[in-house]
Structures are given as structure tokens and as C-alpha cells.
Amino acid sequence: MSGFVEKPEPIQVPGLVHLHTGKVRELYQNEAGDLVMVASDRISAFDWVLPTEIPDKGRILTQLSLWWFDQLADLIPHHVLSTELPAGAPADWEGRTLVCKSLQMVPVECVARGYLTGSGLVEYNESRTVCGLALPEGLVDGSELPAPIFTPATKAAVGDHDENVSYEEVARQVGADTAARLRQATLAVYSRGRDIARDRGIILADTKFEFGFDGDTLVLADEVLTADSSRFWPADQWQPGRSQPSYDKQHVRDWLTSAESGWDRKSEQPPPVLPQQVVDATRAKYVEAYERLTGMSWT
């Protein structure tokens, strides 16, 4: 059992039709048929959306995505039409709302990995492969790969795990041409992001993207290169062979798995409320990632 500890009721706004409540985002459609994405301050861990929010998280994710879309504009078009607040929307939506082009979404999580960790490390330790791609001997947790790899996953419902799949399975599901375009775009965007982050003292270990089609044009959608969709590591603390410190919700995961939380991941009990020090430390990591990447101060 997993999912929402407390599923929120969506805010009703005149002229907007609520379509979906995700782990972090609320999705609406306006009268023109455009999508309106609102990033909440919700945070998830271990397939649960927690009862505690991280202040400003949704705005930080939104503003960082907008910054990245600008850095990537020459590589691939994106789905953002406007950041203007819809008429009648609550003031709290300011800075966390994107009006986006409605796309035919590709049902694949497009993951790029430049370093070995997470589920990729688990598979590598079993078979010396990641998503069926053979890798050299001798790699450890945090090792840089010889070259970035495309390791797609199926998209899961809230509360379920995404499942890694082979490139061949993606080609079977969406067609060989689309699969090839997804792989090319994923690796190109990852490589650009990796180089920009590296110049700012951050390692982009891996990340996931979502794409959709506007006619025949492949478009980058959802969020991009945020601490929710990516593993960012401080370059000056990188040390292969151990778990790396990161700019994400590691404080949340560490506390939930500690004796202090009293929570058993294997039970069917929902996770508890986060203590204030964990909330503050997690918010600080999101802010630090934003400021180091963009060079701008978060206010």
C-alpha cells in the first residue's frame, strides 16, 4: 500500500477543468484547450506522498525548469506558452504555474544516466548491465560511465514504481522511429545539462525527461533538470564507492529510514509527519541547487 497519505482536494477555478492530481503537480485545462500545471509544495519518498510540505518547493521547481528551458531552447522546443496566472486563480499559484501546450504525450520516462547509482547500480551488480546495456567491470556506486546511456522506464501511477525497460521494448511500444528520436533527444539534453552543471560545481548523475508530440515535432514537457527529476551531487565531494551527498530529498529519506521516525517501510502504515529540522534542511538543499545552477539568489 502506498500513494497519498492525505490526498488533497483540487482547488476549483472558474474556466479551468481539473484533470489530474499528481505527486507534486495539479493539472488543469483552460477554455482554449491549453494545460495549466500548478506545482505544489508536496514531497514524495518511497512511493508515498508525504503529509508534510516543503515551503517554496513548487516555485523553486517551476522557476528552475523555466531557466533550463531557456538553456535548452536551441536543442529542442518546450511546451511552455505562458507563466501568466489564470484569471480567478489563487494568489498562491503565482510563480508555480505554467500554461502549456497540450501535447500527445509519449508514455515513457526517458532516463539518462552518466553515473552509476540507484536502480542502475542494483542491476549492474547482478548482471553488469543497466536496462540490458552491457557496462565494463569494476564500476562502483558513483562511478562515471564511459558515456551517458539511455535507460527508459514505464510511467507508473501514483504509489507505484516506474519499471526500467529495454530500448527494444520502447521501440516495440512506440515505434522504432520515435524510440530513436527519444534516445537522441534525451542524451542531447542530458549532455547539455551535465556540462552546464559541471561548470557550476555540480555533477548531474542522472535525470528523467518527458516528451510529447505537437504534430510531428518532438517537444520537451513537464519539469526539466530539477532536484525532483535529477540526481545532483556536489562535485567537490564526489567519491566513487559510497553513497554521494545530494541536492534533493535525501534528508527526508534518511530521516524516514532512521530509528527516530519509528516508521517501517515494509509495513502498510503511512509515513509520519516530518520534523521541522528535516523540512528546513530539505528546503535549503532545493534553494542551494537553484542558486548554484542559475547563479541567481532565491528570494
**Closest of 76, 77, 82 to residue 32, by C-alpha:** 82
Count of structural domains within the chain: 2
Q: How far is CA 49 from CA 3, 158, 265, in A?
A: 6, 8, 13
Do 81 and 171 reside in the same domain of the chain?
A: no
As a whole number, mean pLDDT of residues 219-232 equals 96
Q: Band the pLDDT of 1: cuts 50, 70, 90.
A: very low
Angstrom distance (rounded) from CA 23 to CA 195 = 29
What value, to the nearest 5°, has the Cα angle with vertex 288 and ends 285 and 292?
145
Q: Does any domain span residue 43? A: yes
Q: Does any domain span residue 286? A: no
Q: Does the pLDDT at position 178 exceed 90?
A: yes
Instruction: Please say which residue of 41, 73, 100 terminates a domain.
Output: 100
Angstrom distance (rounded) from CA 212 to CA 242 = 36
Q: Does the pLDDT at position 157 exceed 70?
A: no
Instruction: Please say which residue of 219, 237, 255 terminates a domain.
Output: 237
What value, to the nearest 5°, has the Cα angle with vertex 202 and ends 47 and 248?
20
Q: Does any domain span residue 147? A: yes
Do 166 and 94 reside in the same domain of the chain?
A: no
Do 24 and 116 reside in the same domain of the chain?
A: no
Query: How many percent of the chain have pLDDT more than 70?
Result: 97
Which of the residue ranges 1-5, 118-122, 164-168, 295-299 would you say has the lowest mean pLDDT? Answer: 1-5
Angstrom distance (rounded) from CA 23 to CA 34 = 21
Give the domain extent around 132.
104-237
Q: Does any domain span residue 298? A: no
Q: What is the pLDDT of residues 185-218, one digit of tens each?
A: 999 999 999 999 999 999 999 999 999 999 999 9
Instruction: Please say which residue of 46, 71, 100 terminates a domain.
Output: 100
Q: Does any domain span residue 114? A: yes
* End-to-end CA, the chain: 38
Determine the pLDDT at residue 159. Answer: 46
Q: Does the pLDDT at position 30 exceed 80?
A: yes
pTM as predicted: 0.94
